[in-house]
């Protein structure tokens, strides 16, 4: 009996020490996971800088000839087109030193980003109408013959990317219904399925119209297509390593006041300024700039 009692005392002591150790470990834990964030938005990205277009189409002399006749060496007149970004993040808060209190003004976000980037499109267009001399049919009638030449050359570039991302963000007071925040973040990853396409369209047609006493003859218009040609060339852009530095600025709204679930739910809008550094085997190092605007949905766990 005495032995049994002693064993019970020992077991209770061990469990007590373990409980105290676990409680102490939790108290000393500085980083607390308390939030899940989902972002979906559009990127307005500049074209890759410091790239010579001829190098991307080095396997096609015809494509290089078209480029030399229509574009500068670097590819000018790019304009941004909205692309897609999906971002899943976990939010962490910091526990204040030697305290159970959590700092709700500072957050560390870590997550995974998927981007579909449409770097932009540059194009040259031309439309010319050449009116020939009237061809007499009779003393009162004549036919006018116009030659129309249409030319359009465009370049499209796109890529997919996956990045691991982290960001340190500073918030206004969490007791307010609306919060504002800013910070700095870093993403590291790689791109895949990179593509660049050169499209050259050319169309030549002849229009004829007949006039009698200088009055257009109804239903006398006729158009004949002499050339309708579209050439497509695919350049080579290797998959590349990418690093992105971004500066987020956002605001979010707490959806509820009284009910516990809605008190922890936020919807928001966020704007990023992005500076990207990329490296590709056949291009080397190049940079891009961009803006990201997205909507966010967040759920905050109990502290």
Tell me the domain boundaries of the chain.
29-133+157-198+237-300
Q: pTM for the whole thing?
A: 0.68
Residues 6+ apart with CB under 8 A from 85: 39, 40, 41, 42, 43, 113, 114, 115, 116, 292, 294
Question: What pLDDT band is residue 6 in, cutting at 50, 70 and 90?
Answer: low
What mean pLDDT is predicted for residues 155-164? 84
Beta strands in the chain (DSSP E): 31-45, 82-95, 102-131, 135-136, 141-171, 178-212, 215-216, 222-234, 240-254, 265-280, 284-300
Look over the chain and give the mean of its residue pLDDT values, rounded to a whole number: 77
pLDDT at position 172, please? 87
Question: What pLDDT band is residue 158 in, cutting at 50, 70 and 90?
Answer: confident
Which span out of 71-75, 125-129, 216-220, 265-269 was modeled with the highest average pLDDT?
265-269
What mean pLDDT is predicted for residues 216-222? 81
Q: Is the pLDDT of residue 262 over 60?
A: yes
The CATH number for 29-133+157-198+237-300, chosen from 3.30.30.10, 3.30.460.10, 2.40.160.20, 3.40.50.11540, is 2.40.160.20
CA-wise closest residue to 176 among 246, 104, 108, 284: 104
Q: Supply 101's token pair.
A: 């209190």
Helix (H, G, I), strand (E, B) or coil at 212: strand
Residues 6+ apart with CB under 8 A from 179: 171, 172, 173, 251, 252, 254, 266
pLDDT at position 136, please? 74
What mean pLDDT is predicted for residues 209-228? 82
pLDDT at position 21, please? 46
Question: What pLDDT band is residue 121 in, cutting at 50, 70 and 90?
Answer: low
Question: What pLDDT band is residue 165 in, cutting at 50, 70 and 90?
Answer: very high
Question: What pLDDT band is residue 119 in, cutting at 50, 70 and 90?
Answer: low
Phi-psi region of 64 (alpha: psi -120 to 50; beta: other; left: phi over 0): alpha
What is d(CA 192, CA 190) in angstroms, rounded to the nearest whole number?
Answer: 7
pLDDT at position 12, please? 45
| Percent of the chain residues past pLDDT 70, beyond the cut | 76
């Amino acid at each position: 009996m005495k032995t049994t009692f002693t064993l019970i005392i020992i077991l209770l002591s061990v469990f007590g020490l373990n409980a105290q150790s676990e409680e102490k470990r939790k108290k000393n834990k500085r980083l607390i996971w308390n939030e899940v964030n989902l972002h979906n938005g559009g990127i307005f990205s500049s074209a890759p800088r410091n790239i010579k277009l001829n190098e991307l189409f080095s396997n096609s002399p015809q494509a290089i000839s078209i480029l030399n006749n229509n574009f500068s060496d670097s590819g000018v007149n790019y304009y941004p087109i909205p692309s897609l970004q999906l971002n899943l993040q976990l939010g962490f808060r910091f526990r204040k030193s030697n305290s159970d209190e959590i700092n709700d003004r500072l957050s560390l976000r870590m997550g995974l980003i998927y981007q579909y980037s449409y770097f932009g499109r540059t194009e040259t267009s031309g439309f010319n109408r050449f009116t020939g001399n009237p061809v007499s049919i009779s003393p009162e009638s004549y036919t006018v013959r116009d030659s129309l030449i249409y030319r359009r050359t465009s370049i499209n570039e796109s890529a997919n990317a996956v990045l691991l991302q982290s960001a340190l963000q500073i918030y206004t007071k969490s007791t307010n219904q609306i919060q504002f925040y800013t910070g700095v973040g870093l993403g590291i990853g790689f791109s895949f399925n990179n593509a660049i396409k050169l499209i050259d369209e050319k169309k030549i047609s002849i229009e004829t119209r007949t006039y009698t006493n200088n009055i257009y003859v109804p239903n006398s218009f006729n158009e004949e297509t002499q050339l309708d040609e579209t050439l497509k060339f695919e350049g080579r852009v290797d998959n590349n390593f990418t690093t992105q530095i971004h500066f987020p600025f956002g605001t979010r709204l707490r959806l509820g006041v009284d009910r516990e679930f809605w008190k922890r739910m936020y919807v928001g809008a966020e704007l990023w300024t992005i500076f990207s550094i990329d490296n590709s085997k056949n291009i080397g190092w190049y940079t891009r700039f961009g803006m990201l605007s997205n909507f966010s949905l967040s759920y905050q766990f109990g502290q």
